[in-house]
Structure 1
Amino acid sequence: MNRIPTSQSAPEALSDRERAVAERFAAGLTYREIGEALFIAPSTVRTHLATIYGKLGVRNKIELASCISNVEGKPIRPAKEQATPILAVFPIESLNPEEQWHRFADGLSSDICVDLARYADIPVIAFHTMKLLGNKPERHDDHVQAVGATYAITGQLRADDRRVRLTIQLSDTRSGQMLWSERYDRPMEDFLTLQDSLTESVINVLAGCFGTLAALGRNASRRKAPSSLQAYDYYLLGVEQHNRFGREGNEAAVDLLSRSLELDPTRARAWTELAYAYSIQACNGFSTNPEEAIQKWRSAVEQALLLDPTEPSGYTCLGDLKACHGDLAGAADAHARAFKYGRNHADTLALLAGSKALVVGDPAEAVPLIERALYLNPLSPPWYFGMRGRVMFVSGQYEDCISALEKSSQESPNTLMFLAMAHAFSGESEKAERAALLLRKEFPSFSVKGFIAGYPVTNPPALRAIWEGSRLAMLD
């Protein structure tokens, strides 16, 4: 790692012109403004900044400002690794000369940036900032250093009379390594429909709970020493444990998410995940005091929505909670808000599908929701299939239910419950008996009654199916 000089050595490291550029850039001036003040071209400003960053060993504007403004002669240590990575979406480059495709590329870039800022769990540089930098910098490193980005998304668009092709890449700005790339081909259609389709495809691969960005973050967190874990690390590891849906994973998730929130109580998504972890305690029999778990569920989800009133998963969680307290109208309203804010987010659609099937609404509407979630996110985590399993069960499609549950988390007691019931309805009594025996052996504190009360199951078709299925499978 480069050594950042002390303020006494910084003037010696930089030429007069470099120092003039550094001071103005640290003060917030743009490349163009600096160029006009110093009578040089903006491209020359970029070249000077690349040299300045290298000489001073800084990585972004904040470190540069600290280095330039330090006048007390105290050593400036290298900045700590960012507690949370930062993502920059560069404007997508149109390879077609027509102006309409340049406008389309800019609109697509902006939509991807906006949706990543909404659904990803890391900060995203504002698109207008990236638009000023442009999509063809003379030196890419100049720009990512200037905004302090950890990851960069770049792309190219080309079109003919029949098809549009988007090539998009995610890279690590520190190493230059390409982390992910994909090519999307779409038939020519209405521009806005096409823009929405491409945006959805990119967002759900990158920003889902098991998406590319989360996987990168988890892998980086696991490489760190325990003593150096930050709030974001605890959050990612907590989400991973929560999505196991077993008792051990649930305990670990509550611990990790609580540690994350002790360090950073402002992450709304962490409060939502903690709320869901407490809801799992209540419905899966993991808590000796389900009422206490529900109260903690309530506190966590209310805090999540206080911090972010547009958090879609927070509203699915709130809807289920309201149903727990008998407020079915409030549950339906919360689920409608979740769809409003997360209609293109696969995680939200999967959660809503489960709630439509078991909590409130028409179970038939749950089928297209879970199918769309699986379509949008080709990296679907196991819990998507758990949701699909319960949707198919309530819909009476038991073969599809069993197929989905076999891909779901096998650590979850409700997976075994639905498997036993689906086999029983299918006339497969031996398989139903084996699933029921395994459920009683592995999860002696689980009960169908507890699941109904804690999930909660309040939708009449689901209640009838579960009570009849549990009778046939001899679960209670």
Structure 2
Amino acid sequence: MSPSQVERRLSAIMAADVVGYSGLIEADELGTLTAMRDLRDTVWNPLLVEHRGRTVKLMGDGILAEFGSVVDAIACAAALQRKLAADQAGTHPDRRIVFRVGVNLGDVVVEGDDLLGDGVNIAARLEQLCAPGGVMISGTAYDHLQGKLDCGFEFVGEQRLKNIARLVRVYRMVSDPTARAHAQPLPEKPSIAVLPFANIGQEPEQESFADGLTEDLITDLSRRAGLFVIARHSAFAYKGCPVDGRQVARDLGVRYLLEGSTRRAAGRVRINVQLVDALNGEHLWAERFDRGLEDIFKVQDEVTGRIVEALVGRLVPAPARNRPASLDAYDLCVRGRALIGKTPEVAREASLLLQRAIALDPDYAEAHRWLAFNLWTGWAHWGEPMEPNRPKSVELAERAVALDPNDAGNRWVLGHVLAFERRWPESDAAYEAAFALDANQADAWAMQGEMGTFHGRPTEGIERVKRALRLNPHPPGWYYWELGYAQYAARQHEAAVETLRQPSTYRTGSRRILAASLAQLGKIEEARQEAELFMVSNPHFTIGYWAATQPFRDDAIREHFVDGYRKADLPA
């Protein structure tokens, strides 16, 4: 059949499945099947009629439905979860039927009464990502709501879904629609977020240049002591999205937004930039720069200076940064740093790009820093060989600081690498220097959560991660890993379970800490299931190797982790 003969349509798809269905069937097959049949008759079918949907297919543990309106689909999903929660309240927790629900708006392929294609697959993947009793929706679904429902949604970032090549924006339904609006009070100092610059030229190869420009402006502003600056990951959560400036500012807890676009061609760069007061919509400053490409870093400095002047007047300038001598090296570094922390395979590509950047510009401090961090991640977390990666990461981190001692990023990376060498006084000094240079370093605050745990002060670590989350409200998943790590060390096991089930960190290496937390709560079978799933992606993990390589200064906390891992049946 040719593409023109395939029947397609745009539909809102809802996918729902029962949490722990196999266990329910094993415990009481007849009772579970009867309960599912009653649920379809008394809850599912009436809700579907009320919200103008149709059942596409029924599986033993799941349901797939189609709606002509995304508003109807999400209203039905919310009603389903409310109705189930009420109906199951009197049922023993081990026998409750609890759903996860995913909703997507997308193109589907029609085959008789069945639906196929990406539109269906994304809904199913969102349902798998969802917490029990919750609802996850895609960015395409969210964009069409426009305040038409009284339920609230929390942005959880761009997620990589199984067998879906592109990243998908994901939102989680929250019970209190006003929760996000009041979650982030404005700081006392002027607060700003730099939204991702648009690549006006549309050439895909220039996309990383536009991203690099955004990241560098965030870094430059972050170093000004009189400003509160939202971190890169949260700013990039809005990349490619239609945005309401006031809503973005409320979501991030800032007053000012910097927006811009860039076009790079024929050795020149054109940058349009505007500074907006999101509180009242006033444009404070706007300008266009049309310069030779060799002046790009001067333009960055000029834009930063103009923003600071507009917001807080003339501050003492931050020390000059170590700028690359080669634009080709800069491009390689921008591409490389974007790949760090994803997977071991992608990390090897990042190392290659960063090594090429250093070969082109041996005095480029930032390239040295990110290569050091990338190599450290490989041996400390992904089982890459210690030799020569471990000593090489130290050498590169020390070289980065020597090349640019005024870059807070270089300082905290060195501090973290040295901690794993048990060089504690030097590590502590490096972190202190980082925060003295830039108190807005969200990643450094998050990493300090781990330092608090190593030092035997996990409650202090929790507070540091929470400070990082204020600077980075839409963080990468490893922030929740660090928070759950500190919560476990502080014996806040229930809080750790909640944290480590956040969609952006669940199914990552943090799963072993989730398993240990469940084990300490006495949920041994659930803990062992999580441990088994962790081992699928981390087949070389052993408790002994982990305990020997982690730089704990408090043996009691180390033993508490070991105890949880053993109870969860992780290999010795």
Is 1:262 matched with 2:382?
no
- 2:448 aligned residue: 352
What's the CA shift for 1:424?
1.0
Matches within 5 A, 1:77-476: 111=224, 150-155=270-275, 230-244=328-342, 246-287=343-384, 289-358=385-454, 360=455, 362-407=457-502, 408-409=504-505, 412-413=508-509, 415-475=510-570, 476=572
Deviations 1:40-95 (A, max 9, x none): xxxxxxxxxxxxxxxxxxxxxxxxxxxxxxxxxxxxxxxx99979668999xxxxx
Q: Deviations over 1:131-188 (max 9, x none)?
A: xxxxxxxxx99xx9xxx76545432569xxxx998767899867xxxxxxxxxxxxxx
> What whole-Å deviation, never above 9, does each CA across 1:218-260 have from its counterpart, x for those lacking one?
xxxxxxxxxxx9433332332232222x322332222232223
Q: Is the 8 A contact 1:278 1:294 kept in 2?
A: yes
Deviation at 1:443, TM superposition (A): 1.6
Q: Is the 8 A contact 2:421 2:551 kept in 1?
A: no
Tell me the alpha carbon deviations over residues 348-386 of structure 1, each in whole angstroms, 9 at most, x when there is no partner: 21122222223x362222122111111122332222222
Tell whether the 8 Å contact from 2:409 to 2:434 is kept in structure 1 after alignment: yes
Give the residue type in structure 2 aligned to 1:336. Answer: E
The SS at the match of 1:260 is helix
**Alignment CA distance shift 1:424-1:233 (3 Å):** farther
TM-aligned CA distance change 1:255 to 1:434, over 3 Å: farther
Determine the C-alpha separation between the residues in 2 that align with 1:314 and 1:234: 18
| Structure 2 Cα separation of the partners of residues 109 and 292 of structure 1 | 34
| Partner SS for 1:241 | coil
Cα displacement (A) at 1:328: 2.3
| 8 Å CA contact retained: 1:398, 1:423 | yes
Q: Percent identical across equivalent pairs?
A: 24
Distance 2:280 2:401 in 1: 39
Mapping for residues 62-73 of structure 1, pairs under 5 Å: none
Separation in 1, partners of 2:486, 2:352: 31
TM-score under structure 1 length normalisation: 0.53
Contact 1:150 1:172 in 2 (8 A): yes
Contact 2:222 2:441 in 1 (8 A): no
Q: What is the CA distance between 1:422 and its match in structure 2? A: 1.3
User: Are the aligned partners of 1:312 and 1:342 in contact in 2 as well (CA < 8 Å)?
Assistant: yes
For 1:323 and 1:89, the matched residues in 2 are separated by 27
Aligned CA distance change for structure 1 residues 110 and 342 (closer, same or farther; 3 Å): closer
One-letter code aligned to 1:377 = N
Q: Which has the higher helix share?
A: 1
> Residues 375 and 285 (structure 1 numbering): CA distance in 2 closer, same or farther, change over 3 Å?
closer
Deviations 1:371-421 (A, max 9, x none): 1111122332222222222122212222332333233445643x1221211
| Structure 2 counterpart of 1:280, one-letter code | T
- CA distance in 2 between partners of 1:329 and 1:298 (Å): 15
Asked if the contact 1:320/1:456 (under 8 Å) is kept, the reply is no
Residue deviations 1:68-123, cap 9 Å, x none?
Answer: xxxxxxxxxxxx99979668999xxxxxxxxxxxxxxxxx999499999x999xxx
Note closer, same or farther for the CA distance 1:151–1:456 as it changes in structure 2 (3 Å cut): farther
**2:119 counterpart residue number:** none
Distance in 1, Cα, partners of 2:339 & 2:420: 24
Q: Which has the higher contact order (CA 8 A, sep 6+)?
A: 1
Gapped runs of 5+ residues in structure 1?
A: 1-79, 91-107, 121-139, 175-193, 200-228
Aligned to 1:41: none
Tell whether the 8 Å contact from 2:273 to 2:287 is kept in structure 1 after alignment.
Answer: yes
Structure number having the greater strand percentage: 2
Matches within 5 A, 1:19-38: none
Is residue 342–residue 348 contact of structure 1 (8 Å, CA) maintained in 2?
Answer: no
For 1:461 and 1:241, the matched residues in 2 are separated by 36
Q: Which whole-Å CA distance do the structure 2 matches of 1:444 and 1:382 have between them?
A: 21
Cα displacement (A) at 1:302: 1.0
Q: Partner of 1:338: helix, strand, or coil?
A: helix
Return closer, same or farther for 1:111/1:275 CA change in 2, 3 Å cut-off.
closer
- Distance in 1 of aligned mates of 2:569 and 2:351: 32
Pick closer, same or farther for the CA change 1:168–1:394 going to 2, 3 Å.
Answer: farther
Aligned equivalents of 1:355 and 1:262: distance in 2? 33
**Contact 1:436/1:473 (<8 A) preserved:** yes
Match of 2:388, SS state, is helix
CA distance in 2, matches of 1:382, 1:399: 19
CA–CA separation in structure 2 for the residues paired with 1:331 and 1:89: 26
| Letter matched to residue 397 of structure 2 | V
Aligned-residue offset at 1:345: 2.0
Q: Alignment RMSD, CA only?
A: 4.5
Instruction: Find the aligned partners of 2:549 and 2:390 in 1 and give their Cα distance.
Output: 8
Equivalent position amino acid for 1:300 in 2: L
Decide whether the 8 Å contact of 2:223 with 2:439 is kept in 1: no
User: Structure 1 segments of 4 or more deviating over 6 A?
Assistant: 80-85, 87-90, 112-116, 163-166, 168-172
1:261 and 1:423 mapped to 2: Cα distance? 45
Q: CA deviation at 1:454?
A: 4.0
User: For residues 81 and 438 of structure 1, what CA distance do their matches in structure 2 show?
Assistant: 36
